[in-house]
Amino acid sequence: MREVAIVAFAQTVHTGHDTGLTEAEMLHPVIDEVQRATGLTRFGFTCSGSCDYLAGAPFSFVSALDALGAWPPISESHVEMDAAFALYEAWVRLQHGDIDSALVYGFGKSSMSDLREIMTLQLDPYYLAPLGLDQVSYAALQAAALGGDRADHRGALDEIVRRSRADGRANPHALDLPDPSGTDDEVAPLRPYDIAPITDGAAAVVLAAGDLARELAATPAYIRGIAHRIEPHYLGMRDLARSPSAADAARAAGVGKGPVDVAELHVQFSHEELILREALELPEDTVINPSGGPLAANPVMATGLIRIGEAARRILDGGARRAVAHASSGPCLQHNLVTVLESALESVPESAPETQEGADRG
Partner 1 sequence: MANRCAVIGVGQTRYTTKRRDVSIAGLVREAAIRALDDAGLTFADIDAVVVGKAPDLFEGIMMPEVYLADALGAAGKPLTRVHTAGSVGGSTALVGASLIQGGVHDRVLVVAFEKQSESNATWALSTHLPFGASLVVGAGGYFAPHIREYMRRSGAPDHVGALVAVKDRRNALKNPYAHLKIPGIDRAMVESTPMLWEPIRYLETCPSSDGACAMVLSSEKAVTGTPAWIHGTAMRSEPLMRAGRDTVSPQAGKDCAADVYRQAGISDPRRDIDVAEVYVPFSWYEPMWLENLGFAPENEGWKLTEAGCTALDGDIPWNASGGVLSSNPIGASGLIRFAEAALQVRGMAGEHQVEGAVTALGHAYGGGAQFFAMWIVGSRKP
Residues near partner 1, by CB under 8 A: 1, 46, 51-53, 55, 57-59, 61-63, 65-66, 68-81, 85, 88-89, 92-98, 118-119, 121-126, 128-129, 227-234, 237, 245, 248, 329-331, 334-335, 356-358
Nearest by Cα to 7 from 303, 321, 317: 317
CB of 254 to partner 1, least distance (A): 15
Torsion angles phi and psi, residue 346, rounded to 5? -90, 5
CB of 312 to partner 1, least distance (A): 21
CB of 93 to partner 1, least distance (A): 6
CB of 41 to partner 1, least distance (A): 14
- Nearer Cβ to partner 1, position 174 or 252? 252
Round to whole Å and give the CA distance between 51 and 259.
35
Task: Label residue 308 exposed, middle or buried (CB < 10 Å: 0-12, 13-18, 19+).
Answer: buried
Residue 251: HSE in the Cβ half-sphere, 13 Å Cα cutoff: 11
- Nearer Cβ to partner 1, position 125 or 182? 125
- Nearer Cβ to partner 1, position 273 or 357? 357
Round to whole Å and give the CA distance between 15 and 32.
19
Residue 297 near residue 174 (C-beta atoms within 8 A): yes
- Nearer Cβ to partner 1, position 74 or 156? 74
Tell me the longest C-alpha to C-alpha distance in the chain. 61
CB of 269 to partner 1, least distance (A): 17
Residue 38 near residue 31 (C-beta atoms within 8 A): no
Cβ-proximal residues to 238 (8 Å cutoff; 6+ apart), any chain:
231, 232, 332, 334
CB of 120 to partner 1, least distance (A): 9
- Nearer Cβ to partner 1, position 121 or 151? 121
The β-bridge partners of 202 are 107
- Nearer Cβ to partner 1, position 141 or 177? 141
- Nearer Cβ to partner 1, position 122 or 171? 122
Round to whole Å and give the CA distance between 300 and 121.
15
CB of 308 to partner 1, least distance (A): 16
What is the three-class DSSP state of 55?
helix
The β-bridge partners of 311 are none
